[in-house]
Structure 1
Amino acid sequence: MIKPTRRSVFFISDGTGISAETLGLNLLAHFPGVEFHQVRMPFIDSPEKARACLPAINKAAQEDGLRPILLMTFVNEDVSVEFCHADALCLDFFKTFIGPLGQELGMLPTRSIGQGRRVVDNSVYRHRMEAVNYSLEHDDGASERHLSEAEVILVGVSRSGKTPTSLYLAMQFGIRAANYPLIPEDFERGKLPSVLDQYRKKLFGLTIRPERLHEIRSERRPNSKYASLDNCRLEVKQAEQLMHRENIRWLDSTTRSIEEIAAKVMQECGLDGHVG
């Protein structure tokens, strides 16, 4: 069996490509030993546009010495069939699942782009957008207004994953998630920020390994005390001690994906989400 360390992957769609990428990344996650070079090709909605993609795919095959993987979502078979001419493994999600599903339901599927958005009704969409706006307004302790409306408040040191988790909860599940940083002044006092006292039941903490925090902070502010490994070790240690002392539920975000972190937050906090 060939065990490549690097493989080119193309996410291709006649729409935005979000479905192809989301499904594809979940599949690729099962092969952690491979470094995947990802290329996105959205809005390929005609055979002509499809044929124009083939040189780039074949070039990747030549450079890698292995055929690329094409993860595709097409409603128009006249477009998807063009990729069969590429030197690649073609996996069309819609072709794999839509046909059998149509047979089971006893009906022909529609052949128009963007049908997935119609499954979610307008009220759910509005709820999610309101949640996103709320999370943006309450990112990194930026606002204390309407904090009582938060369904969860994430706390942790700077760059521990609070912001992406908050936005993911809002976008995917319509959950109003605020986040608040734990800073050296809090550690010196040995207490949570006073504004959070009345919302203790909504608090959930994120921590991270100091070495990984050092890497992340160094990308933002290299050679600073903020990013130094010693400072990262101190902040993480003090934050974990504070969360333990204040009886706050928390988890280590170092090796977890945003999806995993969000799922754990929802489970621990008893949140069901608002998905229709």
Structure 2
Amino acid sequence: MTRTVFFISDSTGITAETLGSSLLSQFEQQKFEHVIVPYVDSIEKAQAAVEKIDRVAKESGEQPIIFDTLVNADIRAVIATSSGFIIDVLAHFLGQLETALGQKPSSTVGRVKNADRDARYKNRIDAVNFALDNDDGARINRYDQAQVILIGVSRSGKTPTCLYLALQTGVFVANYPLTEEDLEERRLPRPLAEYRDRLYGLTIEPERLSAIRSERRPNSPYASLRRCEDEVRDAEALFSRFGIPYIDTTHASVEEIATRILVETGLRGQRSQ
């Protein structure tokens, strides 16, 4: 049976869902339905959330799980009247920080310094625009501005990884598709040669690649398993030949791929709030 999980926050809900999902992932046999309830910053919104939780509890016959990152005590008290099982994501950490710092937390809803928030937001938007402008080798003349350049065969996951890195961390990422011609020459494509230290490769199992390509161009040479096997083999050989780090994206989420890239390249991005 699927269990409903609510992620309630006075802001976007990203923190509540991220931490809550990490905990839920340990229960592999259980299916969960995620319900995000963001911007619960008033008593009225909290009461509306309680009504939704209680309705789910009545209809399903199961106690919903609630992960919350609410800092306002009055709003939390309203949520506490619901039929859900509440896990306060912040309480444990705030209590420890209060002890370590010797001062009380502000308990201000959605508290982020405006200057810091605005700077991070602008940086992420600039990074997203850069990723879009430099997708699939569109503008090779701007590679000097890229912090990392993802390379790999077509449909290996370059574009979604670029956009995730840009939006979530503010890293400036470009990507370049390795074509059959590039792979046949067995050397780095000319636009990439001087940026070798910024390159990071993505690879994928040929069977999965063929399935993805078939959704786009069914029964085409582009999607054939033989061609996918040849391209993947040659791409991995290219990575090894030039010492380019790479990751297999077949069974990895975009979050896992992005984190590996950040760690292995030493990049320090700005996480979204």
> Do both share a fold (TM > 0.5)?
yes
Q: Percent identity?
A: 46
Residue of structure 2 in register with 1:256 after alignment:
252
Q: Is the 8 A contact 1:141 1:179 kept in 2?
A: yes
Q: Is the 8 A contact 1:51 1:82 kept in 2?
A: yes
Residue of structure 2 in register with 1:87 after alignment:
83
Residue of structure 2 in register with 1:29 after alignment:
25
Number of residue-to-residue matches in the alignment: 270
Secondary structure in 2 aligned to 1:33? coil
Once the 2 structures are TM-superposed, how far is the Cα of residue 147 of structure 1 from its aligned partner? 0.7
Residue of structure 1 in register with 2:205 after alignment:
209
Q: Deviations over 1:27-56 (max 9, x none)?
A: 233333333211111122222222222343
| Pair 252,53 (structure 1): closer, same or farther in 2 beyond 3 Å | same
Segment of structure 1 superposing worse, 103-112 or 7-16: 103-112
| Pair 213,35 (structure 1): closer, same or farther in 2 beyond 3 Å | farther
Matched, 1:106 2:102: yes
Residue of structure 2 in register with 1:223 after alignment:
218
Match for 2:151 among 147, 155, 174?
155
Matches of 1:7 and 1:246 in 2, distance apart? Answer: 48
Matched, 1:10 2:14: no
Q: Is the 8 A contact 1:207 1:250 kept in 2?
A: yes
Once the 2 structures are TM-superposed, how far is the Cα of residue 109 of structure 1 from its aligned partner? 2.0
Matches of 1:207 and 1:45 in 2, distance apart? Answer: 44
Q: Deviations over 1:73-95 (max 9, x none)?
A: 11222222222233322112233
AA aligned opposite 1:239: A
Query: What does 1:1-276 correspond to in 2, within 5 Å?
Result: 6-62=2-58, 64-116=60-112, 120=116, 123=119, 125-218=121-214, 221=216, 223-225=218-220, 226-227=222-223, 229=225, 231-273=227-269
Segment of structure 1 superposing worse, 19-28 or 38-47: 19-28
Once the 2 structures are TM-superposed, how far is the Cα of residue 126 of structure 1 from its aligned partner? 4.2
| Pair 12,267 (structure 1): closer, same or farther in 2 beyond 3 Å | closer
| Pair 85,213 (structure 1): closer, same or farther in 2 beyond 3 Å | farther
Unaligned runs of 5+ in 2: none
Q: Is the 8 A contact 2:41 2:109 kept in 1?
A: no
User: How much is the aligned-residue C-alpha RMSD, in angstroms?
Assistant: 2.9
Unaligned runs of 5+ in 1: none
Q: Is the 8 A contact 1:71 1:92 kept in 2?
A: yes
AA aligned opposite 1:237: R
Provide TM-score, normalisation by structure 2. Answer: 0.82
Secondary structure in 2 aligned to 1:206? strand
Provide TM-score, normalisation by structure 1. Answer: 0.81
AA aligned opposite 2:33: H
| Pair 122,161 (structure 1): closer, same or farther in 2 beyond 3 Å | same
Q: Deviations over 1:76-121 (max 9, x none)?
A: 2222222223332211223333244234423232232221455946
Segment of structure 1 superposing worse, 199-208 or 48-57: 48-57
Matches of 1:162 and 1:125 in 2, distance apart? Answer: 23
